[in-house]
Structure formats: C-alpha cells, structure tokens
Structure 1
Amino acid sequence: MLLVAITPSYPVAAVLQSTFYTVFILFSGFMIPQPQIPEWWLWLYYLCPTSWTLNGLLTSQYGDIDTQIMVFGEAKTVVAFLSDYFGFRHDQLPIVAVVLIVYPIILAFLFAFCIGKLQFQKR
C-alpha cells in the first residue's frame, strides 16, 4: 500500500513491487544467512521486515532447545546452530518483538502521510 501511495500510478507500483519482493526475499536471512551477508549490505538486512519475522519465528520456536543435532557433519545444539549459522540469539527476542510491532505502525503512518500530501494529478 505504501508503494502505491508513493508512486504516481498503480502500474508503476506493480512494476516496482517485484523489485521490492526480490530484495525482501534475498535479504530476509533465509537464502543468505545474516553472518554471511557482506557488511556493506547488512543495513538492508536490518531494514527488511522478513528478516525480523524469520528471526522471531526461529528464535521463539527453537531458540531454547539444547538438543544435539548433526549439522554440516558436526554435532551442535540447536541454540548453537541458530547463533552460529543464522546469528539469532534467544536473548534478543524482546527487541525482535518491538521491531515487529513498530514496523507496521511506521508503514501505516508513512502510507497515511503520503496519501494525504502527495498529489500526482496535473491540472
């Protein structure tokens, strides 16, 4: 909705949405985990809402399990795997929750602001 609000027409927003979806999927931390993303692209990882969602889902469900699993040929606990491979820690779960609550509020505010202030009509 925000993309439709900041572009002059719906077809332009439809074209741009594929770019935004691709970036959101690429930098969500699922295909390329956060520790493997180069430092100069890490800001986009933290800006992407799907990375926070993935962090919250995996951390809340598996972040406190100390069971040994076999990963890449070595035995690790689930907690150690999440921390080493994805960079997710269970003690950061409150921060993730706050970001996931604040993110839609910011997007809704920006949408309302852009709908009210941006005028693309020519007279």
Structure 2
Amino acid sequence: MRLYFTAISALIFGTLFWDIGSKRESTQELFVVMGALYSACMFLGVNNSSSVQPIVSIERTVFYREKAAGMYSPITYAAAQGLIEIPYIAVQTVVFGVITYFMINFERAPRKFFLYLVFMFLTFTYFTFYGIMAVGLSSSQHLAAVISSAFYSLWNLLSGFLIPKAYKLWFLLMQSLVNCFLIPGWWICFYYICPIPWTLRGIIMPQLGDVETKILGPGFEGTMKEYLAVSLGYEAEINGFSAVGLSVIVLLGFILLFFGSFAVSVKLLNFQKR
C-alpha cells in the first residue's frame, strides 16, 4: 500500500509541478522550484512517519508478551524494527525520486540526480524513524500522533523555507557582508537542531547552488547562485566544510539519534497495562 501511495503521490507532484525545474528567470520562479523540492520531502516524509506508527504500536504489544517469556531481546527487536524499513524506503525513494525528478524536469546531470535520490532516502528514513521513536516514547499511538504533529508544525515553521534563516546585508562603513538573521535569536538554535533545514540545504544546493543563470527580483539582480547565498543564506561551504557533505552527516546523525532513542525506549520503558 505504501508503494502504491508513493507512486500516486509522485504522479500528483509531477503533474502539479510539471516542467517547473527548467524555469529559472526570476526569483519568483526560483521559489516555485524550491517549493517543489520542499513539499515533495515534507509530504511523503510526514506520511511515512504517520503510517508507521499504528504498525509499531501493535507490534510493541506482541513484543511485551514475548519479552516476558524471554523470547525477544529489546535491542534485537529494535534493530529488526528499524532495519526492516530500509528496503521499503529504498524502493520508495527510487519510485518517487525518478518520477518527480524527470516530470519536474530538473537538470539532467548524473551527480544532481544521484544527490536528489540520496537526500530523498535520508529524509524518508529519518521521518520513518522519528515516527517509530514517537511510539516508543509514548504510552499509546494516539499520544504519539499528537506529539508528532506538534513537531511537524515546528519543523515546518522553522525549516528556513517559510522564514529564511538569514540574508546578507552590505554595510558601507565596514565594507563587508554580514548575516542578518530573520529567525529570532531565541529560535535560531532550533533551526540548527531541526532536520528539515538540512534536508532543504542538501537538496537545493546540488540542484541550484551552481546555476549561473541571471535572475531578476525585487531589489536583486544577479545569478541564482548569488541569490541563494545573499538572500537565503545557502552557501557552498559552512565554516570551510562542504554544505552538501555536512548535510549528509547531520541527517545520518538524526537517523541514528531517532533509532537509538527507540532502542533505549524499548529497553527501559514499559507501558503495558495489566
């Protein structure tokens, strides 16, 4: 059922954003392309997280019974619960990625296509493991769904898409570019510990970060690469490290964090009612 839903979703997104990837003449068209990338990741990611929760909740009840009988080790069960999802996510990534990439008409470059699939896979994986973790840390599926929904909203709000993290402002007196944060300082830390900004950075930079096409917009005239750096804070390097490579490492860290939290919850927490 998940694969059928993935294929249908891919066709919907492909037809909705048909040939958008080739339109790069204005800042407005740039935001439409970014919106296509952003919505594709969020939509299927949230669906993965939500759809896995009822299954994990039911299987946890069986696990409690088998654990009491000494049949299951908590760590073995947690590992199996996580690893069994990987093949499904891989197939899901290929189906969704191939259909959307060519229907949206992103640039036909092997490196860009490969990185598109890589970040789709990492995104679907951490969303799935987040859903599993939410059930592991909650007493019921319904509570897990409520908590998950709250974090989806926060992730969405502070992802750097609705409200850009920062833009660069030219100070004439200092003759330098400085970052001006649009997300308030007391929330900027949440931006960095939220996985979606790293997905956006990783999926946008390979597609658009090297594009030298001239674009026009309110108060801006330059290349798309310059606009991403100046107006949205998407630069090729972060403190000397590749932005794409660092995004991969951070997303892998989130995957391990969510999976590890589920494993610990299974071992230490017991919500069984007698």
Shorter-chain TM-score above 0.5:
yes
2:262 counterpart residue number = 111
Q: Which has the higher contact order (CA 8 A, sep 6+)?
A: 1
Quote how far apart the aligned CAs of 1:32 are: 0.6
Which of the residues 157, 166, 169 maps onto 1:26?
Answer: 157
Quote how far apart the aligned CAs of 1:122 are: 5.0
Describe the superposition over 1:50-97 as per-residue Cα deviations: whole angstroms up to 9, x where unpaired.
111001111111111122111224212111111122211112222112
Q: Is the 8 A contact 1:34 1:86 kept in 2?
A: yes
Describe the superposition over 1:81-116 as per-residue Cα deviations: whole angstroms up to 9, x where unpaired.
111222111122221121122221221111111122
Which of the residues 60, 74, 98 maps onto 2:206?
Answer: 60
Report the Cα distance in structure 2 between the residues aligned to 1:43 and 1:59, rounded to whole angstroms. Answer: 22
Deviation larger for 110-119 or 66-75: 66-75
Q: Aligned-residue CA RMSD in angstroms? A: 1.4
Report the Cα distance in structure 1 between the residues aligned to 2:206 and 2:193, rounded to whole angstroms. Answer: 20
Report the Cα distance in structure 1 between the residues aligned to 2:262 and 2:223, rounded to whole angstroms. Answer: 43
2:223 counterpart residue number = 77
Q: Percent of aligned pairs with the same residue?
A: 36
Give secondary structure in 1 for the equivalent of 2:272.
Answer: coil
Give secondary structure in 2 for the equivalent of 1:41.
Answer: helix
Quote how far apart the aligned CAs of 1:120 are: 2.3
Give secondary structure in 2 for the equivalent of 1:88.
Answer: coil
Report the Cα distance in structure 2 between the residues aligned to 1:71 and 1:113, rounded to whole angstroms. Answer: 50
Report the Cα distance in structure 2 between the residues aligned to 1:44 and 1:108, rounded to whole angstroms. Answer: 20
Whose Rg is larger?
2
Give secondary structure in 1 for the equivalent of 2:160.
Answer: coil
| TM-score for both structures, normalised by structure 1 | 0.91
Structure 1: any 5+ residue segments left out of the alignment?
Answer: none
Give secondary structure in 1 for the equivalent of 2:154.
Answer: helix
Q: Is the 8 A contact 1:60 1:90 kept in 2?
A: no
| TM-score for both structures, normalised by structure 2 | 0.43
Q: Does 1:7 align with 2:7?
A: no
- Count of paired positions: 123
Quote how far apart the aligned CAs of 1:39 are: 1.3
